[in-house]
Amino acid sequence: MTNIYGMSRVDLENYFLASNEKKFKAIQVFEWLYEKKSQNIDEWSNIKKDLREKLKTDFSFDMPKIIRVEKDTLARKYLFELADTNFIEAVVMFHDYGTSLCVSSQVGCNMGCSFCESGRLKKVRNLETFEMVSQILQIEKDLNMRISSVVIMGIGEPLDNYDNVIRFIKIINDPKALAIGIRHITLSTSGLVPKIYDLMDLDLQINLAISLHAPNDEIRSKIMKVNKVYNISQLLTAIKDYIARTNRRVTIEYVMLKVVNDSKECAKELANLLHGLNIYVNLIPYNETNHLEYQKSSPESISEFCKVLKDNKINVTVRKEFGGKISAACGQLRSKEVKE
């Protein structure tokens, strides 16, 4: 049965038209689902009873269940159990400027980045659109507050679940649904070059973040399998084309791994690679995990790396660390649950 939280407003308009109903019914349904947060169709007083019964027959209203929450001062990590007993997770981060949510797009991940806990347990399946939308709705309900920005950077490679992710973006951006501004939505990819071109053709004006994590192919191929398919040269061409087509700045994500990619030489090489591009670099302190051998770069190394980039006129920030008291590494909480 189709889950109603995976239906866009256009999908619902077409459904009602096919049922010989007025398409404005779609707006009414969206208002009940997203504005009034009602799953009880019997409350939907402006929709006639026979149509409410038809909706009950044609759609599921089920959502993944929150089964565990880990809390820190500035973050909460949620573990969800899906209907097929698989697990995913999402992380809320509390900022001065609002509340952001990092959502998962797959159960597991096939990208095989060697430093990433998510990829240690291989991809089981793509998440359906409603399973991504539900992460936001369930967490808003738990917190009793609005999520103001969304990052598709949890478990999975979003561009490996392209169609469902694009529908998810359109639903949460819809002013009659969650009304999250398009420039408050970030998609993070390890670098699936053909899908980056598909994305730029849509001209969605979202924020695009590229997980680069190395200044050359030798290092990147060791830590990211995707580089053996789409190397840095191909990825850089796609980034340049994306910037030219969308006129949007691209974020370059760079996780700081002790000894692996955090030397001054790496910083200089990265600066040369990115010189002149409309990008900014986000240096990410690594979240260590018991299952993987990588270690976090020292604060001194991160500071020195950052200084080299700044001295070479590269826009750079160091990501604020969240979740020091929770299973902060992406996929870590799911991994615990699967083991148990």
Burial grade of 229 (CB within 10 A; 0-12, 13-18, 19 or more): exposed
Q: Which residues contact 298 (CB under 8 A, 6 or more apart)?
A: 258
Is there a single domain that holds both residue 51 and residue 197? no
Chunk the chain into consecutive blocks of 10 residues (it has 340) and report each block's average pLDDT, rounded to whole numbers.
97 97 97 96 96 97 97 94 97 93 97 85 94 98 97 97 98 98 98 98 96 98 97 98 97 97 98 98 90 90 98 95 57 51
Range of the domain at 192: 65-339
Indicate the burial class of 282 (C-beta count within 10 angstroms; 0-12, 13-18, 19 or more).
Answer: middle
DSSP state of 114: T
> How many other C-beta atoms lie within 10 A of the C-beta of residue 44?
19
Q: Are residues 91 and 12 in the same domain?
A: no
Residues 33 and 106 in one domain: no
Q: Are residues 106 and 43 in the same domain?
A: no
Structure tokens at 111: 């990208």
Catalytic residue of the set 109, 116, 306, 330: 330
Which one from 13, 89, 140, 157 is the annotated catalytic residue? Answer: 89
Written as six digits, the tokens of 125 are 């399946």
pLDDT of 121: 73
Instruction: Quote the CA–CA distance of 88 and 125 in Å, as a whole number.
Output: 11
The answer on 289 and 211 residing in a single domain is yes
- For 119, 157, 213, 269, the CA distances from 55, given in Å and listed in that order, are 38, 33, 47, 58
- Which of 60, 83, 100 corresponds to the end of one domain? 60
Residue 140 annotated among the catalytic residues of the structure: no
Whether this model's pTM surpasses 0.75: yes
Residue type, 173: N
pLDDT of 5: 98
Q: What is the rounded distance in angstroms from the CA atom of residue 130 to the CA atom of residue 274?
A: 37
Residues 126 and 88 in one domain: yes
Same domain flag for 26 and 113 = no
Shared-domain flag, residues 130 and 54: no
pLDDT of residue 287: 87
Q: For residue 40, what is the domain's CATH number?
A: 1.10.150.530
Whether 194 and 81 map to the same domain: the answer is: yes
- In the residue annotation, 340 being an active-site residue is answered as no
* Structural domains counted in the chain: 2
What pLDDT, on a 0 to 100 scale, did the predictor assign at position 85?
97
